[in-house]
Structure 1
Amino acid sequence: MSVLFLLPHLFLCLAEPMMCYKCKRYHLGICYESMRSCTLKYKQTCAVENVYFLTRKGRSMYFYSKLSCKANCEDINFLSFDKRTELICCKHKSYCNLPEGV
């Protein structure tokens, strides 16, 4: 077998897996359970779900975030009567799923 044929396969085996933070309840830089990591699998990305509660005047107030590895993730906003959930996906680097600006 040609060495040139094996080089791309060898590179894939040596590449470090992408990692993400995993926490069920993250707020203002603190994980209120144990902060863990998850390794991205096929078709997964790092994800942060920012949860907001809605005030009587209809404003969103930040409550907490969930950090995870998520399959088939798409950036989206979910809105219900009493809360809003913002889902943000990333895979440009390991541990890219820390919430910013909340």
Structure 2
Amino acid sequence: MDKFLLLFLLLGAFPLVFFQAQATVCMVCKSFKNGHCLIGKGNCTVDSGPGCRTRNFFSFTDTGKWSYYHTELDCSDTCISHTVYVETVKIATYCCKDQDFCNRYQGKLVNRNTQ
């Protein structure tokens, strides 16, 4: 009888052990430019919630264009992809959780001036 109870408990716990949601590992960087982390390089882990966050910062120039300044990379449980304008600063936020380090190259921009 004890063998059947043990087998039942093991089979009941099997899905919990092997089918748990995997955590996502994200790149952390306070100042990311030209494909390199200049300040605050590291990693973070998101167990639940949206995942890895990328925030691109732009400043409004005298020529009437947005100029890329730098990117911040981190983890966020409440990340929402959106763009915010605060006076002469634009912050474009992107979120991902599809694979580890999915925010790794998001700060590498080809076109530094956008309208």
- Please state which band the TM-score falls in when normalised by the shorter chain: 0.7 to 0.9
Kindly report the root-mean-square deviation, in angstroms, between the aligned alpha carbons of the 2 structures. 1.9
* From 79, 83, 90, the counterpart of 1:84: 90
Q: When the two structures are aligned, how many residues end up with a matched partner? A: 101
Q: Match for 1:92: what amino acid?
A: D
Deviations 1:34-80 (A, max 9, x none): 41000113324100000011112431111100000012111000012
Gaps of 5+ in 2: 110-115
Q: Match for 2:16: what amino acid?
A: H
TM-score, L = length of structure 2: 0.77
TM-score, L = length of structure 1: 0.86
Q: Is the 8 A contact 2:55 2:93 kept in 1?
A: yes
Partners of 2:57 and 2:86 lie apart in 1 by 11
Q: Which runs of 4+ in 1 moved over 2 A?
A: 1-4
